[in-house]
Amino acid sequence: DAGITQSPRHKVTETGTPVTLRCHQTENHRYMYWYRQDPGHGLRLIHYSYGVKDTDKGEVSDGYSVSRSKTEDFLLTLESATSSQTSVYFCAIKEPGLAGPNEQYFGPGTRLTVT
Amino acid sequence: TQLLEQSPQFLSIQEGENLTVYCNSSSVFSSLQWYRQEPGEGPVLLVTVVTGGEVKKLKRLTFQFGDARKDSSLHITAAQPGDTGLYLCAGARKSLTNSGGSNYKLTFGKGTLLTVNP
């Protein structure tokens, strides 16, 4: 258990409304990630953070912004939600593993539906 | 462009059978991870392989990393209904951050949905 929680776990919202998803971790990990998972596409990286106020884009960042004002929280914001952003969103943290520095551990996910 | 091709996409077998899932790429990865995901939950890390040719065993699961670090396989012996789930492979590659530091990004395959029937 990597101590990751996501909120909300489920959300239904209307097109054009802003939405913020929260990822919270309790173990002081430096790296945090946001992914979306869609049928036929697998998991795709949206944004990631490598420290407080340090963020970078992933492969599907258009329409999303992130913020990290403190180590434990990484927020994903959809400024104006669209139906194409209906998805399951996963947060992940990275911690050094014995096998290498690349092991990521995932939260339980947020299912977002944009109507 | 899908950097990691995972096959088969779906697999339905009877309890006790053996199976192999493949993960192939034309790119070299620093390491490769296998995850298992159940409905409504996040992926759970099973194993990380780092060295070309490496073989790791986890009970009835055997993971192998290709010699060139471009491909991997997951073999399950005597599958059980509890093995049912979505199996994902993910390759790690080094990238630069905005500040010039380094980070490893994961590229995921699309997954293999395994169903083991009793």
pLDDT exceeds cutoff 60 at A10: yes
The mean pLDDT value for A58-81 works out to 96
Low pLDDT (below 50) residues in chain B: none
Q: Which residues of B touch A105 (CB under 8 A)?
A: 45
Q: Which of A102, A103, A105, A110 to mutate to probe the B interface, most B CBs <10 Å?
A: A102
Task: Report the distance separating Cα A70 and Cα A91, nearest Å.
Answer: 16
Q: By the 8 A CB rule, do B89 and B6 touch?
A: yes
Question: Residue A3: its pLDDT value, please?
Answer: 85
Task: Report the distance separating Cα A25 and Cα A71, nearest Å.
Answer: 8
Q: Do A43 and B92 lie within an 8 Å CB cutoff?
A: no
Q: Do B88 and A42 lie within an 8 Å CB cutoff?
A: yes
> What is the distance in angstroms between the Cα of B50 and the nearest Cα belonging to chain A?
7
pLDDT exceeds cutoff 50 at A99: no
Task: Report the distance separating Cα B111 and Cα B4, nearest Å.
Answer: 10
Q: Do B111 and A100 lie within an 8 Å CB cutoff?
A: no
Confidence of residue A30 (pLDDT cuts 50, 70, 90): confident
Which residue of A58, A100, A109 is in closest CB contact with B42? A109
User: What's the pLDDT tens digit per position in A34-47?
Assistant: 999 998 888 999 99
Question: Residue A100: its pLDDT value, please?
Answer: 55
Question: Residue A68: its pLDDT value, please?
Answer: 97
Q: By the 8 A CB rule, do A2 and A103 touch?
A: no
Q: Which residues of B touch A108 (CB under 8 A)?
A: 40-42
Confidence of residue A2 (pLDDT cuts 50, 70, 90): low
Average pLDDT of chain A, as a whole number: 92
Question: Residue A1: its pLDDT value, please?
Answer: 57
